[in-house]
């Protein structure tokens, strides 16, 4: 346990906690040089608050575990009348050992329609989320994920605007619009070159070739100057997506959906991921709920974003240390 690791190697949370604690006469102790875990102690009372990563003692462990499970989350939200994409849980073990279990998923696909998403049920940051548009796509995606995960969710794909709404104790701290990762052509570089120059996207991500193929493109294709090409089916910043804070007031129904989602899962602090369908942008459909949202990638976008993220954490820390 160390109190003074190098600030250049520490996490965003530990850096912000250090400033907050210094201003509020609290003591920060980090469990490792990178600040991925630790505790805050009030020397006046001896009270301690532990944290790990972006997980704070604001939410109960049970509520946080439910939120980390996409199928449980969808089921509980659906019970309270909230709109969620149609979904089906699949067992990776059953798919590996009993190939006939695939038929149930194909029946679901036939009833729901293409495209669909195939995801790890407890995955984060868009990892291994695959968009499928046909039975061969589905079989390939399930084969890939069943080898890696015991729990899989197949989910209806809804076209629309993606919003992340951050909720704390019944208030909305902010809303963030998230967009799919793209590259913009210059008329001379191939897509392979543009992907390598992106800086965030992993050129080895096999989903890239699938998405390009759907658009009739390959890594050797040269987009025209100013032309945009979508690279992946997920909008996470960690996968190369882009994001911007929403400055306009949220529609009442969107606000209500975000607040109801957190309340339904007994979460004091959460990021509620919504999609506003192209067919009706006034309706908010709940994609996922994150009980430990991270804002490190967002803070790195620029000074304005960094300042907004620090303001969010100021409120989170104030709520945490008031308990």
Percentage of residues of the chain with pLDDT beyond 70:
97
User: What integer best gives the mean pLDDT of the chain?
Assistant: 93
145: helix, strand or coil: helix
Kindly state the DSSP code that residue 223 receives in the 8-state scheme: P
Q: How far from 160 is each of 232, 236, 312, CA to CA, in Å?
A: 15, 15, 26
- What are the chain's domains? 1-53 (no CATH), 60-84+159-180+234-323 (3.30.470.20), 86-157 (3.30.1490.20), 185-232 (no CATH)
Greatest alpha-carbon span in the chain: 65
Q: Write out pLDDT tens, residues 197-206.
A: 998 999 999 8
pLDDT digits (tens, 9 = 90+) for 249-286: 999 999 999 999 999 999 999 999 999 999 887 789 99
pLDDT reported for residue 9: 67
Q: C-alpha distances in angstroms, 104 versus 5, 86, 88, 90, 107? A: 52, 14, 9, 9, 5
Residue environment code for 208-240, b if the CB has 16+ CB neighbours within 10 A, otherwise e: bebbbeeeebeeeebbeeeeebebbbbbbbebb
Q: Are 169 and 140 in contact (CB under 8 A)?
A: no
The whole model's pTM is what? Answer: 0.92
Which 3 state secondary structure label does DSSP give 142? helix
Query: How confident is residue 8, by pLDDT bands cut at 50, 70 and 90?
Result: low
| pLDDT per residue as tens digits for the range 145-166 | 999 999 999 999 999 999 999 9
pLDDT, tens only, 130-143: 999 999 999 999 99
């Amino acid at each position: 346990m160390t109190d003074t690791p190098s600030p250049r190697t520490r996490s965003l949370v530990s850096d912000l906690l250090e400033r907050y604690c210094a201003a509020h006469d609290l003591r920060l102790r980090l469990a490792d040089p990178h600040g991925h875990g630790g505790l805050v102690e009030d020397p006046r009372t001896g009270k301690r608050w532990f944290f790990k990563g972006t997980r704070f003692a604001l939410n109960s462990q049970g509520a946080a575990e439910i939120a980390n499970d996409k199928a449980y989350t969808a089921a509980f939200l659906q019970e309270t009348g909230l709109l969620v994409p149609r979904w089906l849980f699949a067992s990776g073990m059953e798919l590996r050992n009993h190939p006939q279990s695939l038929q149930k998923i194909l029946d679901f696909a036939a009833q729901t329609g293409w495209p669909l998403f195939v995801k790890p049920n407890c995955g984060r940051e868009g990892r291994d989320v695959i968009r499928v548009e046909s039975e061969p796509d589905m079989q390939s995606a399930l084969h890939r994920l069943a080898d890696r995960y015991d729990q899989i969710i197949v989910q209806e794909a809804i076209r629309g605007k993606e919003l992340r709404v951050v909720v704390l104790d019944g208030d909305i701290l902010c809303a963030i619009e998230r967009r799919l990762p793209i590259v913009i052509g210059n008329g001379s570089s191939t897509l392979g070159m543009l992907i390598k120059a992106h800086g965030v996207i992993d050129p080895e991500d096999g989903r890239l070739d699938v998405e390009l193929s759907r658009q009739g493109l390959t890594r050797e294709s040269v987009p025209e100057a100013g032309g945009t090409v979508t690279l992946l089916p997920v909008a996470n910043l960690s996968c190369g997506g882009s994001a911007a804070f929403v400055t306009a007031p949220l529609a009442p129904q969107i606000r209500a959906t975000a607040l109801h989602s957190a309340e339904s899962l007994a979460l004091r602090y959460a990021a509620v991921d919504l999609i506003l369908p192209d067919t009706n942008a006034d309706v908010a459909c709940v994609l996922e709920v994150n009980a430990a949202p991270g804002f490190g990638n967002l803070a790195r976008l620029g000074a304005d974003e960094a300042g907004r993220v620090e303001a969010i954490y100021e409120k989170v820390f104030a709520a945490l240390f008031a308990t």
